[in-house]
Amino acid sequence: MKFFKHILNESRSEADGIFFQKIQKIVKVKLSSLPIYKQAFTHRSLKVKNEEGRIISYERLEFLGDSILGAVISTYMFENAPQGNEGYLTKMRSKIVSRKNLDLLGQRLNLTDLILSGIPNEKLGKNINGNLFEALIGAIYVDKGFKACETFIYRTVIQEDVDLAQLEKRVMSYKSLMIEWCQKNKFSFEFVTEDDPGRDEEKHFSVKLIINNEISGKARETSKKRAEEKASQRAYFTFQNYIKP
Amino acid sequence: MKFFKHILNESRSEADGIFFQKIQKIVKVKLSSLPIYKQAFTHRSLKVKNEEGRIISYERLEFLGDSILGAVISTYMFENAPQGNEGYLTKMRSKIVSRKNLDLLGQRLNLTDLILSGIPNEKLGKNINGNLFEALIGAIYVDKGFKACETFIYRTVIQEDVDLAQLEKRVMSYKSLMIEWCQKNKFSFEFVTEDDPGRDEEKHFSVKLIINNEISGKARETSKKRAEEKASQRAYFTFQNYIKP
């Protein structure tokens, strides 16, 4: 990979050696190429450019890794839920590869310790862990192929984290859950939203979820979406003995 | 695969032999297992059940194939557009694996000739070709693995169909294109929708796309979405010399 020549030249030897060892420890497979892993941890703020003058970052590898992760998790679901229809398989896959889950997985591997960035880690946004995790999968795929990726994903995602019975119960959206529950039971429901600035400077919204003409949950948040989700979650806890996620 | 024992028993020998030969001709790789390909062409209307009493159909394989197709096309884009950022890669991938494209690919391979269904082909819905195409990819993956799938997808999708320069120009949504164009150029725009039953029994909508206070395209369709798309397309043709998809 020519793009990396200058990073490699700058920081050769010791720093590279440490980086390589750390990645090797995470991936647990003999790696063939250093530059692709460096790319997987390069944030655009570092402003490293390739020969055509375009900024190099982990984002292209994140695109690739996301897709490979999807294929591996689909295979896992297909094999391990022989009775599940495609709706079930899709739903469970999206729980496994949710942003929240990927962020957790990246955090667990301490991926931000390896980042090559021009700005402080705390300014990298809250999804940086998940993004680096996907980029790392992309790098393993480029370096070692599909099988090696599968092994890595089984070890880090599936063995650590996937319990289908538990996942079935995990609620991704309380709003969808409550709407489905109301529709199934023919209950009337309505989300009533109001601007509710209060004494705060930031915009705030109040949402009430009204089921069968009774307020079943309410919440105040800085976005309508978050307020709806929280009001729905509160309604869910009120009725949880009657609702199956 | 135990589920297929009874189909296999019923129809063994000649019919199976012909089916196997036809699939072999499409896939162009020596196949190992017949049942998985039968599943890839079984429509739920045939009401074949597995031992637990659940209906067997191509739908689970379609779920799997969709994901593998995504991974292979992502790899292709990653390798063949080294200058494209992740937004470009995502956009081009979705053009390649669009419903319309997959339906065309399935049609070209005459996949509906192979379907095992309880209802006439013309009642199978317009996406049946694309669905069978994805299910076939799923079956190849289960039978022969990732590499064989990649080879099949390269031959049927990429070599036949993918010209990145052409694809860049393919418009997926004229509505999005026109909105982006207006925003970029700071033009005001508005979609004005009216119920417009006319003399038709079915509900109809008229949509006008007004750009900088001038009607730039109008259309009448049975859904608001289709009318907006058509009005946008007409506006696009008016301004096409100024718009780059």
Specify burial of residue B202 (Cβ count, 10 A radius: 0-12, 13-18, 19+): exposed
Q: Are residues B8 and B128 in the same domain?
A: yes
The strand pairing partners of B210, in sequence order, are B190, B215
* Cross-chain residue pair A70–B71, CB shorter than 8 Å: yes
Q: Is B212 left (phi over 0), alpha (psi -120 to 50) or beta?
A: left
Half-sphere exposure (Cβ direction) of B174: Cα atoms closer than 13 Å: 21
Q: Which pLDDT score, from 0 to 100, does residue B4 have?
A: 47
Q: Are A130 and A105 in contact, with CB atoms under 8 Å apart?
A: yes
Mean pLDDT, residues A83-92: 92
Q: Is the pLDDT of residue B6 over 70?
A: no
Cα nearest neighbour of B68 on chain A:
A71
C-alpha A195, offset from chain centre = 31
Q: Which pLDDT score, from 0 to 100, does residue A166 have?
A: 81
Q: Which pLDDT score, from 0 to 100, does residue A164 have?
A: 79
Q: Which pLDDT score, from 0 to 100, does residue B106 have?
A: 95
- Please give the span between the terminal C-alpha atoms of chain A, in angstroms, as a whole number: 48
Going by DSSP bridges, is the β-strand pair A189-195/B214-221 parallel, antiparallel, or unpaired? unpaired
Domain span at residue B198 reads 174-242
- Backbone φ and ψ for B219, nearest 5 degrees, come out as -160, 155
Mean pLDDT, residues A94-101: 92
Q: Are residues A80 and A193 in the same domain?
A: no
CA distance B67 to chain A (A): 5
* Cross-chain residue pair B74–A67, CB shorter than 8 Å: yes
CA distance B182 to chain A (A): 27
C-alpha A48, offset from chain centre = 26
Number of domains in chain A: 2
Contacts with B89 from chain A: Cβ below 8 Å: 60, 63
B68 → closest Cβ in A71, A142, A147:
A71
Mean pLDDT, residues B135-142: 98
For residue A148, give the amino acid letter: A
Contacts with B147 from chain A: Cβ below 8 Å: 146
If one compares A3 and B15, the residue with the highest pLDDT of the two is B15
Report if residue B196 sits inside a domain. Answer: yes
Q: Are residues A225 and A187 in the same domain?
A: yes
pLDDT band at A40 (very low <50, low <70, confident <90, very high): very high
Q: Is the pLDDT of residue B162 over 90?
A: no
* Cross-chain residue pair A70–B75, CB shorter than 8 Å: no
Q: Is the pLDDT of residue B87 over 60?
A: yes
Q: Give dist(CA B173, CA A107) in Å, integer.
A: 38
Q: Which pLDDT score, from 0 to 100, does residue B8 have?
A: 45
Q: Report the 10 Å Cβ neighbour count for B18.
A: 11
Cα nearest neighbour of B79 on chain A:
A142
Q: Give the residue among A60, A7, A59 at the shortest CA–CA distance from A35.
A: A7
pLDDT band at A142 (very low <50, low <70, confident <90, very high): very high
CA distance A23 to chain B (A): 22
Boundary residue ending a domain (A126, A143, A169): A169
Q: Are residues B141 and B189 in the same domain?
A: no
SS3 B208: strand
Residues in chain A: 245
Q: Is the pLDDT of residue A6 over 50?
A: no
Whether ipTM > 0.95 holds is no
- The C-alpha torsion from A207 through A210 and A215 to A217, rounded to 10°, is -50
Residue B140 CA: distances (Å) to CA of A125, A141, A224, B13, B66: 40, 21, 46, 22, 12
Q: Which pLDDT score, from 0 to 100, does residue B54 have?
A: 86
Residue with tokens 């096309």: B73
Report if residue B158 sits inside a domain. Answer: yes
If one compares A4 and B150, the residue with the highest pLDDT of the two is B150
Mean pLDDT, residues A100-106: 93
Q: Report the 10 Å Cβ neighbour count for A21.
A: 9
**CA dihedral for A60, A5, A148, A23, sign (positive or negative):** negative
* Cross-chain residue pair B68–A83, CB shorter than 8 Å: no
Q: Is the pLDDT of residue A8 over 60?
A: no
Q: Which pLDDT score, from 0 to 100, does residue B37 have?
A: 96
Which active-site residues of B does the annotation give?
66, 134
Residue B93 CA: distances (Å) to CA of A130, B54, B97, B221: 22, 34, 6, 29
- What are the pLDDT digits (tens) for B36-49? 999 999 999 989 88
Q: Are residues A46 and A151 in the same domain?
A: yes
Q: Report the 10 Å Cβ neighbour count for A135.
A: 28
For residue B46, give the amino acid letter: L
Boundary residue ending a domain (B164, B198, B231): B164
pLDDT band at A5 (very low <50, low <70, confident <90, very high): very low
Boundary residue ending a domain (A148, A169, A190): A169
Report if residue B60 sits inside a domain. Answer: yes
Residues contributing to the annotated binding site of B: 62, 131, 134
Residues in chain B: 245
Q: Report the 10 Å Cβ neighbour count for B20.
A: 14
Report if residue B195 sits inside a domain. Answer: yes
* Cross-chain residue pair B60–A146, CB shorter than 8 Å: no
Contacts with B70 from chain A: Cβ below 8 Å: 67, 70-71
Question: Which of A51, A62, A76, A86 to substitute to test the interface with B, most B CBs within 10 Å?
Answer: A86
The strand pairing partners of B195, in sequence order, are B205
Q: What's A198's domain CATH number? A: 3.30.160.20
Question: Which of B66, B86, B90 to substitute to test the interface with A, most A CBs within 10 Å?
Answer: B86
Q: Are residues B23 and B121 in the same domain?
A: yes
Q: What's A107's domain CATH number? A: 1.10.1520.10
Residue B193 CA: distances (Å) to CA of A126, B183, B205, B220, B237: 40, 20, 7, 10, 20
- Which stretch of A48-62, A159-173, B112-126 has the lowest confidence by average pLDDT? A159-173
Residues contributing to the annotated binding site of A: 62, 131, 134
- Which stretch of A131-145, B9-23, B111-125 has the lowest confidence by average pLDDT? B9-23
Q: Are residues A109 and A15 in the same domain?
A: yes
Q: Give dist(CA A189, CA A51) in Å, integer.
A: 58
Q: Which pLDDT score, from 0 to 100, does residue A161 have?
A: 67
Q: Are residues A104 and A205 in the same domain?
A: no
> Residues 6 or more apart from A152 whose CB is under 8 A from it?
A27, A28, A29, A137, A140
Q: Give dist(CA A206, CA A209) in Å, integer.
A: 10
Q: What is the mean pLDDT of chain B?
A: 89
For residue B57, give the amino acid letter: S
Interface of A with B (CB under 8 A): 52, 54, 59-60, 62-64, 66-68, 70-71, 74-75, 78, 83-86, 89-90, 138, 141-142, 146-147
Residue B181 CA: distances (Å) to CA of A39, A124, B191: 33, 31, 15
H helix and E strand count, chain A: 12, 3
Contacts with A90 from chain B: Cβ below 8 Å: 63
Six-digit token string for B53: 């009493």
Q: Are B50 and B152 in contact, with CB atoms under 8 Å apart?
A: no
pLDDT band at A10 (very low <50, low <70, confident <90, very high): very low
Active site residue A134: yes
* Cross-chain residue pair B83–A59, CB shorter than 8 Å: no
Cα nearest neighbour of A85 on chain B:
B60
- Which stretch of B78-92, B154-168, B169-183 has the lowest confidence by average pLDDT? B154-168
Q: Are A163 and A170 in contact, with CB atoms under 8 Å apart?
A: no
A63 → closest Cβ in B68, B83, B90:
B90
Q: Are residues B43 and B143 in the same domain?
A: yes
- What are the pLDDT digits (tens) for B96-117? 999 999 999 999 999 999 999 9
Q: Are residues B146 and B47 in the same domain?
A: yes
Residues contributing to the annotated binding site of A for Mg(2+): 62, 131, 134
Interface of B with A (CB under 8 A): 52, 54, 59-60, 62-64, 66-68, 70-71, 74-75, 78, 83-86, 89-90, 138, 141-142, 146-147
Q: Give dist(CA A139, CA A157) in Å, integer.
A: 17
Residues contributing to the annotated binding site of B for Mg(2+): 62, 131, 134
Cα nearest neighbour of B73 on chain A:
A67
- What value, to the nearest 5°, has the Cα angle with vertex A198 and ends A196 and A201? 100
Q: Are residues B73 and B152 in the same domain?
A: yes
DSSP label of B119:
S
Q: Are residues A162 and A225 in the same domain?
A: no
Q: Is the pLDDT of residue A4 over 70?
A: no
Q: Is the pLDDT of residue A1 over 90?
A: no
Among A16, A52, A59, A66, the one annotated catalytic = A66
Six-digit token string for B44: 């739920």
